[in-house]
Chains A and B, each alone.
Chain A
């Protein structure tokens, strides 16, 4: 298994509070991604990073921000959590320099509940 960890694994918070989720990888992969998974919608890309301090928006980026100050860490921040952000969040990684450059590997997920 790819070395990807996510923290926390479970979190319950209240509407309006800031929340930060962390993704940590030990594979030295260039690309990192944040997805959310909701019933009926599948996985949808929130933000992704193509290098340290290089990030871009995905299809559902409103209400989320990200930061990547080191290759191994990718943070997802909900500035002011809303109930619509209750979801399971997955981090993924991929490497761009090999024949399997496009294969994405996923972390175990973080279940976030916003009350």
Chain B
């Protein structure tokens, strides 16, 4: 059974700092990995999707990497801002049909002024 772990569960950093969020998964036979952002009381916003054949994806100040063989992904946020404060979730798509995702429990990020 695929298990997805995100460490740390919570993180507080000063504004302007570069930071890395971690995601690990137990079964390397994944199709892709997706990073989401969730604001309190809101739905999930897709940030980046990395196919299993890719090593990284970039969008603005965000960079996500994938090392499928070691079962790890990182989300790098450059020059953090208070508006980046949210919970960040990673999810892996298992093989087979249906595009079913297994989610981690998230890292709650707070960027302080």
Chain A residues in the interface with B (C-beta under 8 A):
31, 33, 40-45, 48, 50, 56, 58, 90, 92, 94, 96, 100-109
In the complex, B60 has a CB within 8 A of chain A: no
Which of B32, B42, B103 is the one whose CB lies under 8 Å from A102?
B32
Q: When the two chains form their complex, are residues B89 and A42 in contact, meaning their CB atoms are under 8 A apart?
A: yes
Which residue of chain A has its CB nearest to the CB of B33? A102
User: When chains A and B are docked, how far (Å) is the Cα of A40 from the Cα of B41?
Assistant: 16
Q: For chain B residues 35-49, which have a beta carbon within 8 Å of chain A?
A: 36, 41-46, 49
Where chain B touches its partner, the secondary structure class is strand
Which of B36, B42, B43, B46 is packed against the most chain A CB atoms within 10 Å? B43
B83 an interface residue at 8 Å Cβ cutoff? Answer: no
Q: How far does the Cβ of B62 sit from chain A's closest Cβ, in whole Å? A: 15
User: Which residues of A lie under 8 Å from residue B45 when comparing CB positions?
Assistant: 106
Structural contact, B105 and A109, CB atoms closer than 8 A: no
* B window 41-86: CB within 8 A of A: 41-46, 49, 51
Check B93–A102 contact: CB distance below 8 A.
yes
Total A-B residue contacts, Cβ distance less than 8 Å: 60
A105-B99 in contact (CB<8A): no
Contact surface of B with A, Cβ cutoff 8 Å: 4, 31-32, 34, 36, 41-46, 49, 51, 89, 91, 93, 97-101, 103-106
Q: A42-B104, A100-B49 known; A50 and B43 CB under 8 Å?
A: no
- Give A44 to B104 CA distance when docked, in angstroms: 10
Cβ B89 vs Cβ A43 within 8 A: yes
Given A43-B101, A102-B32, A102-B51, 9 other A-B contacts at CB below 8 A?
A48-B98, A58-B100, A90-B43, A102-B34, A102-B93, A102-B99, A104-B99, A105-B46, A109-B41
